[in-house]
Amino acid sequence: MTVQHYNQTGEHDVVTPDRSSFPLNMWYVAALSKEVQNKPLARTLLNEAIVLYRTADGQVGALEDRCCHRALPLSLGTLEDNGIRCGYHGLLFDKTGTCIEIPGQQKIPSKAKVNSYIVKEQNAIIWIWFGSKEHPEPTCLPPVYSVHNDEKYLYDGDVYHYQAPYQLIHDNLLDLSHLGYVHLHTIGGNAKIHMNAEMNVEQMGNSVKVTRYMPNSTPPPTYTAAYPFKGNVDRWQEITFFPSHLEIWTGAVDVNSEPFDSPDRGGFHLKGFHGVTPETDETSFYIWTQASNPSSSPEENMKLVIEQTALTFDEDKVVIEAQYQNLKRFKGKKLVDIHVDVGANRARRIIEKLKIDQQN
Amino acid sequence: MTVQHYNQTGEHDVVTPDRSSFPLNMWYVAALSKEVQNKPLARTLLNEAIVLYRTADGQVGALEDRCCHRALPLSLGTLEDNGIRCGYHGLLFDKTGTCIEIPGQQKIPSKAKVNSYIVKEQNAIIWIWFGSKEHPEPTCLPPVYSVHNDEKYLYDGDVYHYQAPYQLIHDNLLDLSHLGYVHLHTIGGNAKIHMNAEMNVEQMGNSVKVTRYMPNSTPPPTYTAAYPFKGNVDRWQEITFFPSHLEIWTGAVDVNSEPFDSPDRGGFHLKGFHGVTPETDETSFYIWTQASNPSSSPEENMKLVIEQTALTFDEDKVVIEAQYQNLKRFKGKKLVDIHVDVGANRARRIIEKLKIDQQN
Amino acid sequence: MTVQHYNQTGEHDVVTPDRSSFPLNMWYVAALSKEVQNKPLARTLLNEAIVLYRTADGQVGALEDRCCHRALPLSLGTLEDNGIRCGYHGLLFDKTGTCIEIPGQQKIPSKAKVNSYIVKEQNAIIWIWFGSKEHPEPTCLPPVYSVHNDEKYLYDGDVYHYQAPYQLIHDNLLDLSHLGYVHLHTIGGNAKIHMNAEMNVEQMGNSVKVTRYMPNSTPPPTYTAAYPFKGNVDRWQEITFFPSHLEIWTGAVDVNSEPFDSPDRGGFHLKGFHGVTPETDETSFYIWTQASNPSSSPEENMKLVIEQTALTFDEDKVVIEAQYQNLKRFKGKKLVDIHVDVGANRARRIIEKLKIDQQN
């Protein structure tokens, strides 16, 4: 069989997905491990349509989501021991994207293959490498997130699809002062206390850490339900931004029981993982888990934590998507910065620099 | 804090809403008073995204629907005694669009403000001024519509959103000969009688008045239900077009009991207010009320009148939206005028002239 | 009344529907007869918005779906003895597209007319002629499909709307090797048997015939339910492509009871009619019937056949629409041919040649 040009659209240029809006040469969060089990998962990441799947031996693969024969998404196919089989005419592809079987045909053309991606499953997260032309192979290991493997914690999570570009999610997470307004009815608490809390911002390489400490404050109801606090608490928010994800540690200990700079402080706290991965220039995946250490009724309290977290993120989604629609509606109109923007602006400069660096 | 350019879309031109499709230097109907009560109302008018709201003292305000900080629509915010507070980080704006509070920050940058609009509430209608560059301030008072304040009448109304440009609604209202075809099953009556009724069209300045008199005709069922007619009736339709709205007076008196030129004639009649305000070049708001003077079971009959009116306007909406889709589908194909178009064509010429005048 | 230019969109060029993506000077399937009964049918064919309707005398007409007065789709109108009446102001049009009545107006302007199309109802199918400029009148008769008038058969059918261009439906129908993958759970049977069956492709003029014979194979459950087969069967698939439609004959007889080349062979078989008509460049109508000759419980078995056929076509629709979305997403990427594509590629070359011929 010959390879020929088969063009439905009457045009002859191949459209190459555009990665230029995103920093490259880094690992992105592709999915939670629990999402990729016994059927293929179609997911567009950085403008590229990808199928993620797991073969019978437990290995995760990632291919271009398109059969090389007649372009059906491979994500509509079926999983076999040694690959994924197209749901139209049964072509079978291995993890490298090579077609290894064409039903009814002995010779397999050498051009019968599709693109493959480098993925690595670690800490119950599936990471995917997006390199520039110079770095098709990873130049580093994926980030370690050991909380998912720590027996002290229970955790669960979910994936949200956002009709908004990824950096608006960074902005939101790096500035928890919005809790008092957006999350008034869930985890909010007193708006003024959040707004007036001392905030510290420090940058280490391509990472930004924003901390807020609220010593001697009243614990919110969700905290007292999960832990026998004696009275007032020392409460903290520690947000660490990385280009691929954010880690947010919020919690409380009894007043003056443990110093704010102890990395092992107990009390009741939440450790959030927040993968923020562009789908397209205008849409994103928000891939999150929430871990906690409830001391009483752990399963039940954990279920509550996840439900509350989901409610809270629903509120954020409404705000961020409305914000993006409005940014387009009022395109180009100048915005005014305020005190809470320091962390978010740092993160934006890091992303900007990463994009400039990869062009040189 | 400095003011910086914060651009999500990678483009640097400010998009100014385009008002050139619409006559300016006039008051438009923004909303019915009943729509703007205890929460903000987002409404795009003449391509501009606006939030309409009422503060605790009962005053109506209208601002650009966008916080100057991170662009969240202010319509997602909350109302306070002295302004509207953004639902993201809590900035508070007064009626002039000036930011008067930034939670957690003492100094308010002078650039922290948004556009405001001139609105005036009168006769249970909220009017908004759209001026050209030369006339940011009103050059006249809003139209008076005293029916809403007349104890002789009961009234109610609603707001319809149309996927069609505003002038197609003018056309429809200025030519009630469509009653026999579009409204066959509601208020229609005999198509031929409507079509053959003598029609008079007169123009006074920027206003057009179309009248049809149907002497000695059978009253429709809705009329006889609301009023003890003795037999046949003298029936009338009087439609008055203004660039911002139309007033339609339809009704009937017992045959030969009152002259058609008496402005105080009784019987049973309906006085309709029809605000027609562009949302965008392709969509519109139709803001209507229907007032009547039922002599028997007034509440009950009035409820029927409103229900029937709504059903009728639903039928018009189907027709007008289908018409607009078809005008786009067959874009540019010539249309043929018939006898019923005289009033509508006059109104189109008035709008055309207003647009030309404001360019000079 | 004068004819004037009435332009909602501010542009002055008439948009002529573009037929250049499609072969012309041929009859297309417009509808099944059962679709055009007591109310108008709006259907866009080859980018042209058409109303199909049947007058009281049983004649089928086809007009431009737009009143020449104010552009309302005529398909929103009503049927009368001698034409179709617009649902806005009541203009009445005859089968040639001429306006023959304007309510309330005596003189009918000569320009009051709309385009008409040549349609012919035959074998319970409504055919429509699309000619080039050189051939506005048919140069041949519509295809004959006598199965619909053959008492040996029961049949029924339906119309599917596809979000995919018409040639992808040709591809699908010309290659039934997909049965083992796409239709695994309905009519599929053993994928390998289908894929390995000997396939013969022959071309006669603008027609392509693909045949597959599977002698001495196990009959599928639907076959044994409808016919008392003695054991194994000789099974066949005969697909004949024409530019306007495909005919597919599939069935089985007892092993060695009747030769594969007999045109009258019995057993249990299905005769499918598959009209494939472009709606636009990117969408299509798939207008099908399935006829059969069940020997036991004919009504009941026929109902089952139609249900199963519909389920099967639902599966094809999912695949073909996903395929088209993916072809757009990966626009211009080369595809690899395999052995099953011979018939489909022949059909594509025929369509290509027809389009080239009509340009000369």
* pLDDT per residue as tens digits for the range C54-65: 998 899 999 999
CB atoms A86 and C181 under 8 Å: yes
With an 8 Å Cβ cutoff, are B88 and A323 in contact? yes
pLDDT category of residue A15 using cuts at 50, 70 and 90: low
Q: Residue A102 and residue C330: Cβ atoms within 8 Å?
A: no
Q: CB of B145 within 8 A of CB of B318?
A: no
Structure tokens at C26: 């041929």
Chain C contact partners (≥3 CB pairs within 8 A): A, B
Decide if C111 and B336 are in contact by the 8 Å CB cutoff: yes
Contacts of C280 in chain B (CB under 8 A): none
Of B180, B191, B330, the CB nearest to C71: B330
CA C179, C180, C186, C187 torsion: positive or negative?
A: positive
Q: Residue B2: pLDDT above 60? A: no
Predicted local confidence at residue B1, as pLDDT: 33
pLDDT tens string C162-177: 999 999 999 999 988 8
Q: Is the pLDDT of residue A187 over 70?
A: no
**Closest by Cβ to B8, choosing from A181, A196, A324:** A324
pLDDT tens track for B101-112: 999 899 999 999
ipTM attached to this prediction: 0.90
Q: What is the pLDDT of residue C12?
A: 43
Average pLDDT rounded to a whole number, residues C114-128: 98
Place of tokens 């924003």: A210
Asked if the model's pLDDT at residue C38 lies above 50, the reply is yes
Asked whether the predicted pLDDT for residue B64 surpasses 90, the reply is yes
Dihedral angle sign, alpha carbons of residues C311, C316, C317, C318: positive
pLDDT at A9 over 50: no
Chain C contact present for B185, CB below 8 A: no
**With 80 as the cut, is the pLDDT of residue A13 above it?**
no
Q: Does residue A192 surpass a pLDDT of 90?
A: no
**pLDDT above 80: residue B81:** yes
* Interface A:B, Cβ pairs < 8 A: 120
Helix (H) or strand (E) holding C182: helix C179-182
Cβ of C4 under 8 Å from any chain B Cβ? yes
Q: Using a CB–CB cutoff of 8 Å, tell me whether C268 touches chain A.
A: no
Residue A189 has pLDDT above 70, yes or no: no
Q: Report residue B258's pLDDT band, with 50, 70 and 90 as the boundaries.
A: very high
Examine the pLDDT at B285 and tell me if it is beyond 50. yes
Using CA atoms, how far residue C296 sits from B87, C168, C302, in Å, is 70, 36, 10
- Cβ within 8 Å of residue C308, ≥6 positions away: C186, C187, C222
Under the banding of pLDDT at 50, 70 and 90, the label for residue B23 is very high
Q: Evaluate if residue C185 carries a pLDDT over 90.
A: no
| pLDDT at position B193 over 90 | no
Does C16 or C220 have the greater pLDDT score? Answer: C220
Q: Is 70 exceeded by the pLDDT of residue A239?
A: yes
Per the CB < 8 Å rule, is A335 touching B68?
Answer: yes
Q: Where in chain A do CATH 3.90.380.10 domains reside?
A: 146-359
pLDDT value, residue B8: 44
pLDDT band of A264, cuts 50, 70, 90 = confident
C177 neighbors C211 (Cβ within 8 angstroms): no
CB pairs under 8 A between A and C: 120
- Whether residues B72 and A319 touch (CB distance < 8 A) is answered with yes
Q: Which of B75-79, B129-133, B138-142, C11-15 has the lowest mean pLDDT?
A: C11-15
Show residues of chain C in contact with B191, CB under 8 Å: 90, 103
* Shortest Cα–Cα distance, C65 to chain B (Å): 8
Give the Cα separation of C336 and A71 in Å (integer). 9
What was the pLDDT predicted at B360? 66
Q: What is the pLDDT of residue B7?
A: 42
> What is the distance in angstroms between the Cα of A243 and the nearest Cα belonging to chain B?
17
Mode of pairing for the β-strands spanning B284-292 and B268-278: antiparallel
Average pLDDT over every residue of A79-91: 95
Whole-number pLDDT of residue B186: 66
pLDDT in tens, B204-226: 999 999 999 989 988 887 788 78
Rg for chain C, CA atoms, rounded: 23
CA B241 → CA B182, B231, B250, B257, B345, distances in Å? 21, 32, 14, 28, 12
Cα separation, B299 vs B135, in Å, equals 44
Given this structure, which CATH class describes domain A146-359? alpha beta
Is the CB of A20 inside 8 Å of chain B's CB atoms?
no
CATH superfamily of A26-130: Rieske [2Fe-2S] iron-sulphur domain (2.102.10.10)
Determine the average pLDDT of the residues in A228-250: 95
Test the A interface: residue of B1, B11, B50, B89 with most A CBs within 10 Å:
B89
Q: What is the pLDDT of residue B293?
A: 86
The tens digit of pLDDT for each residue in B289-324 reads: 999 987 778 888 889 889 989 999 999 999 999 999
What amino acid is encoded at B166 in this protein?
Y
Pairing of strands A154-162, A284-292: antiparallel
Q: Strand ranges (DSSP E) for A65-134?
A: 78-80, 83-85, 92-93, 99-101, 119-122, 125-130
CB neighbours of residue C337 within 10 Å: 18
Q: What is the pLDDT of residue C178?
A: 86
For residue C72, the one-letter residue type is L
For chain C, percent of residues with pLDDT exceeding 90: 74
> Is residue C186 over pLDDT 80?
no
A124–chain C nearest CA distance, Å: 30
User: A157 Cβ partners below 8 Å, 6+ apart?
Assistant: A32, A273, A287, A288, A289, A290, A306
Give chains near A: 3+ CB pairs under 8 A. B, C
d(CA A178, CA A240): 17
Tell me what the mean pLDDT of segment B13-22 comes to. Answer: 74
How far is Cα B226 from Cα A23, in angstroms, rounded to an integer? Answer: 71
**Beta carbons of C159 and C31 less than 8 angstroms apart:** yes
H helices of A201-341, in order, are 221-226, 298-329
The number of residues in chain C equals: 360
C67: pLDDT strictly greater than 60: yes
Is residue C205 pLDDT above 60, yes or no? yes
Q: Compute the nearest-CA separation of C238 from chain A (Å).
A: 19
Mean pLDDT of A133-159: 96
Cβ separation of A89 and C177 shorter than 8 Å? yes
3-class DSSP state of B71: coil
Give, in degrees to the nearest 5, the angle at Cα B333 between B328 and B336.
Answer: 115
pLDDT higher than threshold 50 for residue B9: no
Does A69 lie at the interface with C, CB-CB under 8 angstroms?
yes
Nearest CA in chain C to A101: C338
Structure tokens at B13: 């031109």
* Strand intervals (E) in B123-183: 125-130, 154-162
Taking residues A266-283, report their average pLDDT.
Answer: 96
Q: What is the pLDDT of residues C95-114, one digit of tens each?
A: 999 999 999 899 999 999 99
* Interval C9-36: pLDDT, tens: 434 455 567 888 899 999 999 999 999 9
Q: Are C310 and C166 in contact (CB under 8 A)?
A: no
Residue A359 to residue B1: CA distance in whole angstroms: 31
Classified as helix, coil or strand, C159 is strand
Residue A357's pLDDT band (cuts 50, 70, 90) = confident
Provide CATH 2.102.10.10 ranges for chain A. Answer: 26-130
Whole-number percent of chain B with pLDDT over 90: 74
B-chain CB neighbours of C43 within 8 Å are: none
Contacts with B93 (C-beta within 8 Å, 6 or more apart), sequence order: B63, B67, B74, B83, B84, B85, B86, B99, B100, B113, B114
Higher pLDDT, A247 or A222: A247
Average pLDDT for residues C189-216, to the nearest whole number? Answer: 85
Give contacts of C 305-334 with A, CB under 8 A: 318-319, 322-324, 326-334
Alpha-carbon distance values, C255 to A30, B296, C211, C220, C234 (Å) = 54, 85, 18, 14, 5
> Does B354 touch chain C if contact means CB atoms closer than 8 Å?
no
**d(CA A355, nearest CA chain B) in Å:** 13
* B34 at A interface, C-beta within 8 A: no
pLDDT at C191 (0 to 100): 65
Range in B175-184, C153-162, C208-217, C256-265 the model is least confident about: B175-184
Nearest to C223 by CA among C294, C166, C154, C271: C294
Which residues from chain B sit within 8 angstroms of residue A355, using beta carbons? none
Smallest Cα distance from C18 to chain B, Å: 12
When pLDDT is cut at 50, 70 and 90, the band that residue C179 belongs to is confident
pLDDT at residue A1, rounded to an integer: 33
Identify which of C9, C87, C109 has the shortest CB distance to residue B331: C9
- Whether A328 and B9 lie within 8 Å, measured CB to CB: yes
Closest-CA residue in chain B for C86?
Answer: B181
Burial letters C234-272, b for 16+ CB under 10 A, else e: bbbbbbbbbbbbbbbbbbbbbeeeeeeeeeebebbbbbb
Q: Are B264 and B150 in contact (CB under 8 A)?
A: no
> Does residue B76 belong to the interface with chain A, where contact is any CB pair within 8 Å?
yes
Q: Are A90 and C323 inside 8 Å of each other by CB?
A: no
pLDDT band at residue C75 under the 50/70/90 scheme = very high
For residue C15, the chain B residue with the least C-alpha distance is B331
Closest CA to C79 of C39, C49, C37, C31: C39
- How close C106 gets to chain B, by Cα (Å)? 10
Lowest mean pLDDT among B14-18, B56-60, B260-264, C149-153: B14-18
Question: How much is the mean pLDDT over chain C?
Answer: 91
Q: Could you give the residue range(s) of every CATH 3.90.380.10 domain in chain C?
A: 147-359
Maximum average pLDDT range among A66-70, B183-187, C131-135: A66-70
Question: Residue C72 corresponds to which tokens in the numbers above?
Answer: 């309302």
For residue B166, report the phi and psi dihedrals to the nearest 5 degrees.
Answer: -60, -30
Q: Distance between CA B195 and CA C300 in Å, rounded?
A: 54
* Residue C356 in contact with partner chain A when CB distance is under 8 A: no
The beta-carbon neighbor of C182 closest among A69, A87, A111 is: A87
Fold of C147-359: Naphthalene 1,2-dioxygenase Alpha Subunit; Chain A, domain 1 (3.90.380)
Q: Kindly determine whether residue C3 and residue B336, on different chains, have CB atoms separated by under 8 Å.
A: yes
pTM recorded for the entire structure: 0.91
Query: Do residue B326 and residue C49 have CB atoms under 8 angstroms apart?
Result: yes
Lowest mean pLDDT among B172-186, B281-295, C203-217: B172-186
Contact B223, B229 (CB under 8 A): yes
pLDDT above 70 covers what percent of chain C?
A: 92
pLDDT interval class at B189 (50, 70, 90): low
